[in-house]
Amino acid sequence: MTDIRLTNTLTRQVEVFEPLVAGQVGVYLCGPTVYDLAHLGNARSAVNFDMLHRLLRHDFGVENVTFVRNITDVDDKIIARSIESGKPIGELTAASTQDYLDDLDALSVLGVTNMPRATEYIAEMIAMIEVLIAKGHAYVASDGNVLFHVPSMPDYGQLSRRSQDDIIAGARVEISASKRDASDFVLWKPKKDDEPASAAFESPWGLGRPGWHIECSAMSKSILGDVFDIHAGGNDLIFPHHENEIAQSRCANESAHMAKTWLHNGMLMVEGQKMSKSLGNFFTVRDLLGQGHRGETLRLALLSGHYRAPLDFTQAKLTEAKNRLDSWYRAWNGATPATDVPAAVLTAVRDDLNTPQAFAEIDTLKGNPAELAAAAQFLGLLNLSPEDWFQGGGSADDLTADAIDALIVERADAKKSKNFGRADEIRDQLTEAGVVLEDSAGGTTWRRG
Ligand SMILES: [Zn+2]
């Protein structure tokens, strides 16, 4: 079997992956903060590391891989959204978690072994903070915050390789008079007067809630142990989040490592620009599915570049992904997949998750439908029957049945409020998409023309 080789951010080297315990692999991937729909950047991280999950399950066996992806369900943004929307925190985070899982399902991301929610591990976080205080790595500040004292760890900063000056500059936004050092960061913060009681937990330091970084240190320790194989996330998490996770875990556990291998995916851009709400190029997974793009098309587009490189997500890339899938579905035509994944495809994925190379290999298998299917399904693609792919509104230009229904409801509402311009506009849009409307006394029915 070819070795799995991975680029370890900690050493900046491509390394042959060897688990700490032979034959057993533990992975921790930082999951979402649940208050809003997942955007394409969130989707990229989930899909890229789903490829790692699939490879590890293939090579080590499903029962030998523990893949943890957490849910952050206590956070400033969650509290703000709860106050703004009038929805209780528990209701907001439960609905948002379900939306996230539905989106991942559409993108054919495998279910994880463990999905710990931060609010279920408060006791473990408190225990870890108490250890850090006892060992002289943390202190209770005069304003009630419990802070990690960065200078207490001489080799802090190895993952991001930042100088002490950079760290202080980066921490400037958080500088408060009560900090012993500008780079110290929060482990536990006291409840503010205007915050709801449901966001606060009892602790030895009074009512309050954990800082974000301590969540992952406590949950990974509980499930995977003091030191585990792989920690993954987006490269925007390297500093401060992952650096601070390492500081907390290593100092509390007195270990040389938190995780042996650190993997980070590159940033996602849209049409050459950073995705942002102000630029109007901010897309959620839901937006693109609603426009009629298939989950598999989005998945292939997200895996079309190497995970470590920045990915420019463009309309052209979506069209390319759709065309490639069309050609694979056509070549496959429903043949029984081969038992083994073709060696060239496995070799590509074992080589630092080189999915672009794996796709190029699949392109060469069009004369061998059984091998093509085995390869594509290993990559989480060709999950539909060819009939469903071609007849179920597979074209990027086609609207999904749900989208058509929604437009028909909107058109009826527009007519009711005498907004005939909008009603006509919707009819034109549907006509252009090949949808024929039939109005009758009983309402509007539709069929594809
Ligand atoms: Zn984390």
Ligand 1 centroid to Cα of residue 276, in Å, is: 22
Ligand 1 centroid to Cα of residue 122, in Å, is: 15
DSSP letter, residue 2: P
CA dihedral 43, 44, 48, 51 (to 10 degrees): 40
pLDDT digits (tens, 9 = 90+) for 233-285: 999 999 999 999 999 999 999 999 999 999 999 999 999 999 988 888 899 99
Neighbours of 63 (CB within 10 A): 9
Ligand 1 centroid to Cα of residue 109, in Å, is: 19
**How many angstroms separate the CA atoms of 209 and 119, rounded?**
9
**How many angstroms separate the CA atoms of 62 and 57, rounded?**
5
Ligand 1 centroid to Cα of residue 319, in Å, is: 34
Ligand 1 centroid to Cα of residue 94, in Å, is: 19
* 3-class DSSP state of 25: strand
pLDDT digits (tens, 9 = 90+) for 283-333: 999 999 999 999 999 999 999 999 999 999 999 999 999 999 999 999 999
Residue with tokens 């790692």: 52
Question: What is the per-residue pLDDT for 427?
Answer: 87
The residues with which 140 forms a beta bridge, in sequence order, are 146
CB-count burial class (<10 Å; 0-12, 13-18, 19+) for 183: buried
Question: What is the per-residue pLDDT for 394?
Answer: 42
What does the angle CA 380 – CA 265 – CA 26 come to, to the nearest 5 degrees? 70
pTM for this entry: 0.86
Query: Which domains occur in the chain, in start order?
Result: 18-265 (3.40.50.620), 291-391 (1.20.120), 401-448 (no CATH)
**How many angstroms separate the CA atoms of 224 and 60, rounded?**
17
DSSP letter, residue 201: B
Ligand 1 centroid to Cα of residue 33, in Å, is: 10
Judge whether 299 and 110 are in contact, CB under 8 Å. no
* 3-class DSSP state of 447: strand
Ligand 1 centroid to Cα of residue 349, in Å, is: 25
For ligand 1, a single-atom ion, the residues with CB < 5 A are 30, 216
Ligand 1 centroid to Cα of residue 181, in Å, is: 23
Pairing relationship of beta strands 185-190 and 311-313 according to DSSP bridges = unpaired
| Residues in the chain where the model's pLDDT stays below 50 | 394-396
Question: What is the per-residue pLDDT for 449?
Answer: 61
Token code pair at residue 115: 């999905």
Residue 43: what are its φ and ψ, rounded to 5°? Answer: -65, -40
